[in-house]
Amino acid sequence: MVIPEFNASPAATVKLLWGGTFDPIHQGHVSSAIELSKYLGVQPVQLLPNSQPAHRQRPVATAEQRAEMLALAIDAHDELAMDTREVKRQGPSYSVSTMAEVRQEIGPIMPLIWCMGMDAFAGLRQWHRWQELLDYGHVLVLTRPATYWPQDPELLTWYATHKVEDAKHLLASPSGQVAHLKLGQHAVSATQIRQQLCLGLKPSATELAPAVAQYIASQSLYGIN
Ligand code: ATP
């Protein structure tokens, strides 16, 4: 299988990455990423599927299948792209290693922003060398329905130490800051999609892109026969 290739525009002045498992990619990811692109005035938002997530259980779909679904989901959206480096690298996917590699590629000046949902942020202290993330870029936390600010004092202190009030301020420097942002709230999760499919239910087009639904059926993924 050939993993589809997407490249950021050579004129890009900001590197905006959104890592995840995308098992499968859903319309919560897609809609939020489009809104983020508009809010920051940055294109593209590069969705970055992991190979072997380091902080959660093994995905159901293979890395190649998740990348293929991602390619189908973003096909019609010029403001979105995919970064396939973790899928190609294989082995455990550590965001800090990916950010270090990207920083090496883009040089010391360009802002690098790593986006994550609030649920991912809540588990940040379990991430490999988490405090080094800001050595290479910024962290942007997106609120998400039914997720709340973590109560972990160390994480909150870290957040307060590095925060800027408006996510747009992250565009003014290469690294070292955190922000949070509330976009349109899309109450959809990959867990919920997998459960629906396993029960023989059909997720709506506002939850799962039809092309991705077709791919899932063609590959008999998530318990579909
Ligand atoms: P699962 O239910 O399997 O945990 P998920 O829906 O959280 O999956 P992931 O691929 O794990 O999807 O998410 C990748 C990133 O996108 C994470 O940082 C997650 O917090 C964020 N994210 C996922 N869904 C949404 C959403 N609806 N709104 C905002 N952020 C989201």
User: Above 50 in pLDDT, residue 45?
Assistant: yes
Structure tokens that stand for 102 in this block: 């990207």
Protein residue with its CA nearest to atom 20 in ligand 1 = 117
C-alpha 138 to ligand 1 mean position (Å): 19
User: Above 90 in pLDDT, residue 225?
Assistant: no
pLDDT of residue 8: 46
Protein residue with its CA nearest to atom 7 in ligand 1 = 189
Cβ–Cβ < 8 Å for 128, 54 = yes
pLDDT of residue 56: 75
Cα dihedral angle (144, 44, 158, 49), rounded to 10 degrees?
Answer: 70
pLDDT of residue 92: 85
Q: Is the CB of 22 under 6 A from ligand 1?
A: yes
Domains and CATH numbers, the chain: 15-187 (3.40.50.620)
Give the atom of ligand 1 at the shortest distance from the alpha carbon of 188: 27
| Tens-digit pLDDT profile for residues 91-125 | 888 999 999 999 999 999 999 999 999 999 999 99
C-alpha 32 to ligand 1 mean position (Å): 10
Helix H or strand E encompassing 49: strand 45-49
Give 52's strand partners.
92
pLDDT of residue 133: 98
Omega of the bond leading into 145 within 30 degrees of 0 (cis): no
| Tens-digit pLDDT profile for residues 165-211 | 999 999 999 999 999 999 999 999 999 999 999 999 999 999 999 99
C-alpha 219 to ligand 1 mean position (Å): 22
Protein residue with its CA nearest to atom 8 in ligand 1 = 190
Q: Is the CB of 21 under 6 A from ligand 1?
A: yes
The model's confidence at residue 1, banded by pLDDT at 50, 70 and 90, is very low
CA dist., res. 27 & res. 24, Å (int): 10
User: Above 50 in pLDDT, residue 22?
Assistant: yes
pLDDT of residue 55: 72
